[in-house]
């Protein structure tokens, strides 16, 4: 069993839910986070939700000046593996600042590899994305789908997957899971941790939630002339707590199997819901009006993508359990009880 785990980006939206899940399962954690898009308050609340042993290292994995410190901390912690979530993740920003995306995302992954080499813990669960599939596949997409990300953010995910594959070739002792997330939404049912985006949200759910709570006037629905049920985009929304559980399942799988090598696994529900269906569900859950207007298509969007999640079930014994209504109810509770997120 791998019980001493580094979680990079552990204070972030997905990371905080992963930490609560792992602590509840009795793992000890070393969180490495620079708080560039997260808050120390999230770590406090992780500790409030789950007992257990947490160390925190405030460090930027992409900063060469902090590399030795990070390696020392991993060695001191005697890490047996890592869940790697740290990185930049805004698609639009990655188009205007590609070098920053490559430097930070690839550099962080390399530092983590060095840190694990120092401890001998050759096990990585990587936060990849369905974005690696690009726009070339018919849904449901399985893991043999054609790869072709369409922006620098997506390419950093793709390149890191490939880098980890090469690492395994160089030393078959390395065990790797590339988890390809579909659209993570929702929040912990306690309402204590959730997504706290900087500035104007890019993604659908945080935007809807801010409209529902009165922070923004109305949602813009990007396109109603796609070839889908109601003309709006269709996505595979997955509850962040189901997603978190998927990381633990992957970790346990890697630790258990003698020679699993590199596995690529979709984490999705297998169900596609349209933007307007998501708006209607959120309206029901919040009992608030969600004004919207139809706007032009957003550049780079595709009509429809949802997962074939069978491999996760067969390999990891994992399936998503929470419904769209659960996702909306939990996302709304978090938004209502923390209207400005974690605050200053």
Which sequence positions are flagged as catalytic? 153
Query: What is the nearest approach in angstroms of ligand WQD to the Cβ of residue 114?
Result: 25
Continuous segment of H or E residues that includes residue 43: helix 40-49
**Contact status, residue 328 vs residue 286, Cβ threshold 8 Å:** yes
269 touches ligand WQD by CB under 6 A:
no
Task: Name which position in 27, 180, 188, 235 contacts ligand WQD (CB under 6 A).
Answer: 235
Nearer to ligand WQD, 97 or 114 (CB): 97
183 touches ligand WQD by CB under 6 A:
yes
Q: Round to whole Å and give the CA distance between 295 and 311.
A: 37
93 touches ligand WQD by CB under 6 A:
no
Closest CA to 327 of 190, 185, 208, 181: 185
Residues 298-327 that bind ligand WQD (CB under 6 A): 298, 301
Strand-pair partners of 263: 177
Name, in order, each residue with C-beta under 8 angstroms of 318's C-beta and a sequence gap of 6 or more: 245, 246, 249, 250, 267, 312
Task: Name which position in 47, 202, 308, 310 contacts ligand WQD (CB under 6 A).
Answer: 202
**Contact status, residue 337 vs residue 191, Cβ threshold 8 Å:** yes
Chain position carrying tokens 């309402």: 191
Nearest residue to ligand WQD by CB is 233
Nearer to ligand WQD, 12 or 81 (CB): 12
Task: Name which position in 222, 231, 277, 283 contacts ligand WQD (CB under 6 A).
Answer: 222
Q: How many CB atoms lie within 10 A of CB 169?
A: 11
Task: Name which position in 71, 125, 275, 276 contacts ligand WQD (CB under 6 A).
Answer: 275
156 touches ligand WQD by CB under 6 A:
no
240 touches ligand WQD by CB under 6 A:
no
Continuous segment of H or E residues that includes residue 28: strand 28-33
Query: What is the nearest approach in angstroms of ligand WQD to the Cβ of residue 165?
Result: 20
Continuous segment of H or E residues that includes residue 110: helix 98-119
Catalog residues that contact ligand WQD under the rule CB under 6 A.
89, 91, 129, 131, 183, 202-204, 207, 219-222, 233, 235, 275, 298, 301
């Amino acid at each position: 069993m791998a019980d001493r785990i580094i979680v990079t980006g552990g204070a972030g939206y997905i990371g905080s839910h992963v930490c609560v899940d792992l602590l509840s399962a009795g793992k000890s954690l070393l969180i490495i986070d620079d708080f560039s898009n997260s808050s120390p308050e999230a770590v406090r609340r992780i500790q409030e939700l789950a007992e257990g042993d947490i160390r925190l290292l405030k460090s930027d994995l992409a900063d060469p000046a902090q590399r030795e410190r990070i390696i020392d901390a991993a060695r001191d912690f005697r890490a047996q593996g890592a869940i790697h979530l740290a990185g930049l993740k805004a698609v639009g920003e990655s188009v205007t600042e590609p070098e920053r995306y490559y430097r930070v995302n690839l550099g962080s992954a390399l530092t983590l590899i060095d840190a694990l080499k120092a401890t001998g813990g050759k096990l990585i669960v990587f936060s990849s994305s369905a974005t690696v599939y690009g726009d070339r596949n018919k849904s449901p997409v399985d893991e043999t789908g054609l790869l072709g990300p369409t922006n620098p953010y997506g390419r950093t995910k793709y390149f890191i997957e490939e880098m980890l594959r090469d690492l395994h070739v160089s030393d078959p002792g390395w065990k790797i899971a590339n988890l390809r997330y579909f659209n993570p939404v929702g929040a912990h049912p306690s309402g204590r941790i959730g997504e706290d985006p900087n500035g104007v949200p890019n993604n659908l759910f945080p935007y809807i939630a801010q409209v529902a709570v009165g922070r923004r006037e109305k949602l813009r629905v990007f396109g109603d002339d796609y070839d889908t049920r109601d003309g709006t985009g269709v996505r595979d929304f997955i509850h962040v707590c189901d997603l978190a559980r998927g990381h633990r399942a992957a970790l346990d799988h890697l630790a258990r199997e003698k020679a699993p090598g590199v596995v690529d696994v979709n984490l999705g529900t297998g169900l596609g819901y349209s933007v307007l269906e998501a708006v209607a569900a959120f309206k029901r859950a919040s009992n608030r009006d969600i004004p919207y207007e139809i706007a032009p298509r957003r550049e780079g969007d595709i009509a429809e993508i949802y997962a074939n999640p069978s491999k996760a079930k067969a390999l990891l014994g994992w399936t998503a359990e929470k419904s769209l209504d659960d996702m909306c109810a939990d996302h709304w509770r978090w938004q209502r009880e923390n209207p400005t997120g974690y605050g200053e």
